């Protein structure tokens, strides 16, 4: 089948905070810009109930903030392609290509802002009970657990924030964490520790999820004693960190030992004309504001790169 070919100055892969902010800057920098995403636009923050550390908005819904980002790119005529099925990505060479079912998107410059997804526990029962008691999105599924008992795994911001959120519905929320100390910010910790519906089970890891049609128990193992206990629960919400969304590019580009894309301070990757921004790259902090800032820098690098190509053609 002959595919339709669409040509741009820059293609942005991913429509979360990094991709959106990138698009604002590339479009304002006069680059013909396309934003593609395999999902609906909005990225991870669309799943957050509330965000309270994005400057200028003391508290705002994740969806609402991402809608504002999207409305902002609409002002600059960015071409938007949500829910695309990407078959192949070619990063090497002067012209990069993103091949979808019936269209090939081409540009001399690509910015990868594909974000990251929730890491899996990789224990028995996790896959089997997915959507039948195992969920990675409290905001999407929390309401199904009204007056039930649920278990959150992890000790970072996501685990503790989502545990607090789940107390709106569940009668009891266990937080299982493998250490005594939490990685979450102090304010987030305090909110969870002061919530009477939350009980912490520390120094334990989950080793199996059990049930029949739906989840009934989670088996925990004490890290020090190796003693196993069975906890009755109807829901399991793993929040044990993020893994980068690099499926279609990981053999083409330099990654760090955890699989995140290596960039320099200008968001330049190991390939000329390819930049990365946001949660998908090696970075200290994964927040809406840092992703948006990365996007702006990556866009500026892209603008300069395209200008340099055009200069070379003139000479
Ligand atoms: P995270 O900060 O990496 O925390 C992951 C937690 O899961 C850690 O407590 C870790 O334990 C535990 N863990 C990791 N692997 C495990 C395993 N196999 N079994 C059991 N426990 C395991 O991840 P996150 O909470 O998803 O957050 C990701 C990023 O997004 C962070 O940068 C975070 O600050 C940011 N975030 C920010 C906000 C906000 O600012 N409002 C909200 C959500 C997320 P150890 O501590 O022992 O390593």
**In terms of Cα–Cα distance, which of 164, 182, 181 is closest to 173?**
164
Q: Clarify whether residues 224 and 267 are in a common domain.
A: no
Q: Clarify whether residues 268 and 215 are in a common domain.
A: no
Query: Residue 267 CB: number of other CB atoms within 10 A?
Result: 27
What H or E segment, with its residue span, contains residue 72?
Answer: helix 62-74
Q: Whose CA is nearest to atom 7 of ligand 1?
A: 240
At 314 the pLDDT is 67
Rounded to the nearest 10°, the torsion over CA 37, 131, 155, 50 is 60
Atom of ligand 1 nearest to the CA of 160: 25
Give residue-wise pLDDT tens across range 23-60. 999 999 999 999 999 999 999 999 887 888 999 999 99
Can you give the residue range of the structural domain that contains 48? 4-117+242-314
d(CA 131, CA 153): 16
Looking at the 3D structure of the chain, how many domains does it have?
2
Catalytic residues: 137, 140-141
Q: Clarify whether residues 71 and 132 are in a common domain.
A: no
At 140 the pLDDT is 83
The structure tokens 């499926």 sit at: 247
At 144 the pLDDT is 94
Atom of ligand 1 nearest to the CA of 51: 41
Q: Clarify whether residues 282 and 201 are in a common domain.
A: no
The list of the chain residues with pLDDT below 50 reads: none
d(CA 166, CA 151): 10
Q: Whose CA is nearest to atom 33 of ligand 1?
A: 157
At 315 the pLDDT is 58
At 50 the pLDDT is 83
d(CA 157, CA 176): 14
At 145 the pLDDT is 97
d(CA 186, CA 31): 42
Domain of 164, CATH number, reads 3.50.50.60
Q: Clarify whether residues 252 and 110 are in a common domain.
A: yes
At 52 the pLDDT is 86
Q: Clarify whether residues 113 and 248 are in a common domain.
A: yes
Q: Who lines ligand 1 at CB under 6 A? A: 53, 153-159, 161, 178-179, 183, 205, 239-242, 285-287
Q: Clarify whether residues 130 and 40 are in a common domain.
A: no
What H or E segment, with its residue span, contains residue 50?
Answer: strand 50-51
């Amino acid at each position: 089948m002959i595919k339709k070919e669409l040509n741009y100055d820059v293609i942005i892969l991913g429509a979360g905070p990094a991709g959106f902010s990138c698009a604002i800057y590339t479009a304002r920098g006069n680059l013909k810009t396309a934003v593609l995403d395999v999902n609906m636009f909005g990225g991870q923050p669309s799943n957050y109930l509330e965000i309270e550390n994005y400057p200028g908005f003391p508290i705002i819904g994740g969806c609402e903030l991402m809608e504002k980002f999207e409305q902002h790119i609409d002002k600059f005529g960015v071409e938007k392609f949500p829910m695309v099925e990407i078959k192949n990505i070619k990063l090497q060479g002067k012209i990069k290509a993103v091949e979808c079912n019936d269209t090939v998107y081409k540009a001399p410059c690509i910015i990868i802002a594909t974000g990251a997804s929730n890491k899996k526990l990789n224990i028995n029962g996790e896959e089997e009970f997915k959507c039948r008691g195992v969920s990675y999105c409290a905001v999407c599924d929390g309401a199904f657990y009204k007056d039930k008992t649920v278990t959150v795994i992890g000790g970072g911001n996501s685990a503790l924030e989502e545990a607090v959120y789940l107390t709106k519905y569940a009668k009891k929320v266990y937080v299982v964490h493998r250490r005594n100390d939490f990685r979450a910010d102090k304010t987030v910790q305090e909110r969870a520790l002061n919530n009477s519906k939350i009980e912490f089970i520390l120094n334990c890891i989950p080793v199996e999820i059990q049930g029949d049609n739906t989840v009934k128990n989670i088996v925990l193992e004490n890290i020090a004693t190796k003693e196993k206990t069975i906890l009755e629960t109807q829901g399991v919400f793993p929040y044990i960190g993020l893994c980068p969304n690099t499926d279609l590019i990981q053999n083409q580009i330099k990654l760090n030992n955890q699989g995140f894309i290596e960039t320099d301070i200008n968001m330049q990757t190991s390939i000329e004309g390819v930049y990365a921004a946001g949660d998908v790259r090696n970075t200290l902090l994964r927040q809406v504001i840092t992703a948006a800032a990365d996007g702006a820098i990556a866009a500026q690098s892209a603008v300069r790169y395209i200008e340099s190509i055009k200069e070379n053609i003139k000479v």
